[in-house]
């Protein structure tokens, strides 16, 4: 018989589930940015006009790939350092962490 009410809900499970939600959201945001901007500036480019460049990159690469790539690095740094929890992963570590917090 499956337990409807587990003895308690594992904090690592809860935190991981919350972090997964944010990761999927961040992924979706960058997917929209990259595909949207590259589609607009790159696929929409008129073949008879010269390609605009920014710092030597074609403009669609700069705004649609290079800048979001830089942004992804910043977001990943923020997410890893501020949003992800320092969860204890072994039972021994969970006990130590619990003792410290008390």
Binding site for other proteins (CB under 8 A): 1-3, 6-13, 15-17, 19-20, 23, 26-27, 30-31, 34-35, 38-39, 42-43, 45, 47, 50-51, 53, 55-58, 60-61, 64-66, 68-69, 72-73, 76-77, 79-81, 84-91, 93-95, 98, 102
Task: Using alpha carbons, select from 55, 61, 60, 56 the residue that is nearest to residue 40.
Answer: 60
CB of 99 to other proteins, least distance (A): 9
Find residue 54's DSSP bridge partners.
57
CB of 43 to other proteins, least distance (A): 5
Asked if residues 54 and 62 have their Cβ atoms less than 8 Å apart, the reply is yes
Q: Taking the chain, what is the end-to-end CA distance rounded to the nearest angstrom?
A: 35
């Amino acid at each position: 018989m499956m337990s409807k009410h587990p003895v308690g809900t594992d904090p690592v499970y809860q935190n991981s589930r919350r972090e997964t939600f944010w990761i999927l959201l961040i992924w979706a945001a960058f997917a929209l940015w990259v595909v949207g901007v590259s589609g607009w500036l790159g696929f929409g480019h008129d073949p008879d006009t010269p390609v605009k460049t920014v710092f030597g990159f074609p403009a669609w690469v700069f705004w649609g790939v290079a800048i979001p790539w830089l942004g992804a690095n910043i977001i990943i740094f923020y997410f890893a350092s501020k949003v992800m929890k320092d969860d204890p992963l072994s039972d021994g570590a969970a006990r130590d962490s619990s003792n410290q917090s008390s």
